[in-house]
Structure 1
């Protein structure tokens, strides 16, 4: 009896396996219509796959977008850095170009100096609270610079040396309020008219040429140069042009308002004018 039940179980198991294999084979066949259980199973599986795949795809897209944003940020940062470097480079190029032009003009001016020689120098200091009065240049006694030597840019006269050290010199500008800072000058024309550059109008930014005779006819635009009579500045240094005319406070002499040839503020390179007698003293 037990042996019969064992055989019966074995037969049922074999029959079940055969039926399962048959069903699997049947389900794997290409058919136009599938059974409802199969449809149900496939729908459940498809729905589960969609629940998993859609968030996964969105997550992948989100990760890619984050990477793109990071790359864009990095590229923008690099571009910004390059733009800043480019702006800095353009500024340096502009400064170098301006220096080259100024140096070229200074060198050309040196070639035009006939009766005196010149020492090229560079401005190294300018005190803000005395901007209108003094500058310091990088040439001093060691280079042959002495007090009372004239200082000019490629455009014209700007002042004179008032003190020196071994390596530097202090220059007083014509725009200084020092009443002792005078320049003997003349107005060029058919008749040369002599006077003194004595004072500076900061509001008009014009030099004042005083002690001009009333009977002398002076016109706007006439050139003014150093006369060489003061014993400090050699003759022929360019000062400026007559801008307008007026009278002194007593009405006894004329005053010429002079537009300077040189800019007293926007320069870096200057010439120290060495008079012939200064050169001879140095040689001795």
Structure 2
């Protein structure tokens, strides 16, 4: 068949199809054809619609996840801010409590001169028990002076002085030795540090036997204070409480294990004290 004949045949078929559709539309017979078209095309349309809904839901999920991430970051920042505020309030509360204790101690011990100092360093090797404070010879600090917690409990003694700073040997260090006594009976002894030997404090050289009234010279629960033989260290400063009592190996003395009244390594503010 020639190309001209093929073209004429195609035009004839198109004309027949067009005429058929026109007649079917005029006679309202297009419904079966429409149904056939819906049957063929409907699943495709529904599939396309489903894909569209899925894309919409997926986009909404991405947007929602982004919002949740932003909200999570905001809440984390808020938590950090509240934690910082809480830490600041606790610090202020601790400082306020220390100042209140200091005021009470100052009122109770008007016989003492007191110098406020801040702890600026500790032994970095953890081999010794000492602190460094921000007061020195320019402030009148001298070797041997007592250093106490704001509430009045003994922390240590000045062991080295520079112009604007000083080292404080803590009472728990093995090189520390302070005259002390039992507050209840005034039985005296020497308080020695025991930290490097696995302990804290020992009150040694307590006389064996009982007091004239029959009471034990020392017993668990007794309070220990600085003694009257301390030289530059004022007497009556609180040290700690007796935990247990034993006899020495020689049996010529009693030895009391003492728990410090404060954690001497954790103090941040202290008082350098001396007799007026």
Normalising to structure 2: TM-score of the pair?
Answer: 0.78
Give the SS at the match of 1:102: helix
**In 1, distance between residues paired with 2:50 and 2:101?**
75
CA distance in 2, matches of 1:131, 1:155: 26
CA deviations 1:232-284 (Å, max 9, x no partner) are: 211221122333222223222222222222322222111110322xxxxxxxx
Give ranges in structure 2 of 5+ residues lacking alignment: 1-14, 211-215
Distance 2:111 2:250 in 1: 39
Q: Which SS does the other structure have where 1:130 is aligned?
A: coil
* Partner SS state of residue 252, structure 1: coil
Q: 1:244 to 1:36 in 2, by over 3 A?
A: closer
Q: Distance in 2 between matches of 1:93 and 1:268?
A: 16
Which position in structure 2 is the counterpart of 1:143? 139
2 CA distance for matches of 1:140 and 1:158? 17
Show the counterpart of 1:185: 180
What runs of 5+ residues in structure 1 fail to find an aligned partner?
Answer: 1-12, 28-32, 277-284
Deviations along 1:69-94, whole A, 9 cap, x unmatched? Answer: 22222222322332233334333333
Q: Does 1:219 align with 2:226?
A: no
CA distance change for structure 1 residues 49 and 262 in 2, over 3 Å: closer, same or farther?
closer
Contact 1:155 1:262 in 2 (8 A): no
Q: Do the aligned residues in 2 keep the contact of 1:201 with 1:208 (CA within 8 Å)?
A: no
Q: Give the Cα separation in 1 of the matches to 2:71 and 2:111.
A: 62
Matched ranges for 1:53-92 at <5 A: 53-92=49-88
CA deviation after TM superposition for structure 1 residue 149, in Å: 0.8
Instruction: Give how far 1:24 is off.
Output: 5.8
- Structure 2 distance, partners of 1:167, 1:202, is 29
Match of 1:265 in 2: 265
Q: Which residue of 2 aligns with 1:247?
A: 247
| Larger-gyration structure (1/2) | 1
Aligned equivalents of 1:113 and 1:56: distance in 2?
85
1:198 aligns with 2:197: no
Give the aligned partner of residue 158 of structure 2.
161
Shift of 1:116: 0.9
TM value normalised by structure 1: 0.76
Deviations 1:131-160 (A, max 9, x none): 652100111122221111100112511211
Q: Structure 1 pair 41/240, CA: closer, same or farther in 2 (3 Å)? A: closer
- How many pairs align? 252
Structure 1 residues 46 and 218, CA gap change in structure 2 (3 angstroms): same
